[in-house]
Amino acid sequence: MQDTTFFDRLKTHAVAVETLLDTLLTADVREGEIARPDRLMAAMRHGVLNGGKRMRPALVVESATLFGGSADAALRVAAALECIHCYSLIHDDLPAMDDDDLRRGQPTVHKAFDEAAAILAGDSLLTFAFEIVASTDAGLEDAQKVALTLALARAAGLGGMAGGQALDLEAETRALDEIEITTMQAMKTGALIRFACEAGAIVAGASAEDRARMLRFGRIIGLAFQLRDDLLDLMSDSETLGKAAGKDAARGKGTLPSLKGIAWTEERLASLIAEAQDLLSVYGERAAMLGKLASYVATREN
């Protein structure tokens, strides 16, 4: 894919969310706070301002745009979601979890600081996400903030991302079957991606039907994202990925590509893209960028 407009727009969203996070994560104490310790703040910034692709923020902003939502409000929610995503990376990288030294080509937070700082930076980013949603003055109604808080908490918590990581760790002690792998991945990576797509609809005050459609779209994108990730882990090298490659296989962890083969995975990805485009077809050209995002998620090289 060589669509410069698409990549420019992705880059615009990434810069916007980084700029907002950079502004929010300063030493300025807000009402109800006492002080913001320098080193903790530095560890949080190391974990979140690291040049990620910001795919989840792009999904929030584009789905809000599709339904005519406020770009400012969407960006706030996108920043909150990115805090949750990055906290999970910081904690997952810890020695007691996946024990990774490298993340996006940089030392992980516990390597650049120490384990205690990484635990606290993760805790603080997780907490900060809810602060961002509740404190936004970008024109969201209280009912929308409550809906976003609830959906985000459920996507991130024991019934979503954190629960998925718990299941993933269990997978190191016994082989999961296809259904178990699918459930684990729907939780570990799928839940936040689904939230990203739904959140745009909530921000825009879209109809229940549109909100449900975006949830389904998000579910498909989440599946495609994980399949592509596992395929890249199977086929790629660490330099391209910017993180350790081949580690699932090295741990004996089953993935769908390793269970079903590369050809099956490529076919499945193609059918997921088609399904996603089909869901978006009711919106016509207005959903072009979301359609491109779906293709990108399923075909990216890193």
- Which residues in this chain contact a copy of itself in the complex, by CB under 8 A? 29-37, 39-41, 44, 87, 91, 94, 96-97, 114-117, 119-120, 122-124, 126-128, 130-131, 133-135, 141-143, 145-146, 149-160, 162-167, 169-170, 183, 186-187, 190-191
CA 214 → CA 60, 211, 283, distances in Å?
10, 5, 11
Residue 194 and residue 219 in contact, taking contact as beta carbons nearer than 8 Å? yes
- Distance of closest approach, residue 243 Cβ to a copy of itself, in angstroms: 19
Complex with a copy of itself: residue 34 or 263, whichever CB lies closer? 34
End-to-end CA distance of the chain: 13
Complex with a copy of itself: residue 67 or 195, whichever CB lies closer? 195
C-alpha 102/C-alpha 157 separation (Å) is: 25
| C-beta neighbour count of 236 within 10 angstroms | 14
Complex with a copy of itself: residue 215 or 288, whichever CB lies closer? 215
Handedness of CA 26, 32, 35, 40 (dihedral sign): negative
- Distance of closest approach, residue 171 Cβ to a copy of itself, in angstroms: 11
Complex with a copy of itself: residue 143 or 262, whichever CB lies closer? 143
Complex with a copy of itself: residue 96 or 282, whichever CB lies closer? 96
- Distance of closest approach, residue 178 Cβ to a copy of itself, in angstroms: 15
Instruction: Write the DSSP string, 278-302.
Output: HHHGGGGGGGHHHHHHHHHHHH---
| C-beta neighbour count of 156 within 10 angstroms | 23
- Distance of closest approach, residue 158 Cβ to a copy of itself, in angstroms: 4
Instruction: Write the DSSP string, 74-117.
Output: HHHHHHHHHHHHHHHHHHHTSTTTT--SEETTEE-HHHHS-HHH
- Distance of closest approach, residue 76 Cβ to a copy of itself, in angstroms: 13
Complex with a copy of itself: residue 53 or 111, whichever CB lies closer? 111
Complex with a copy of itself: residue 158 or 274, whichever CB lies closer? 158
| C-beta neighbour count of 196 within 10 angstroms | 29
- Distance of closest approach, residue 59 Cβ to a copy of itself, in angstroms: 17
C-alpha 122/C-alpha 45 separation (Å) is: 11
- Distance of closest approach, residue 36 Cβ to a copy of itself, in angstroms: 5
C-alpha 106/C-alpha 5 separation (Å) is: 28
- Distance of closest approach, residue 1 Cβ to a copy of itself, in angstroms: 31
Complex with a copy of itself: residue 9 or 45, whichever CB lies closer? 45
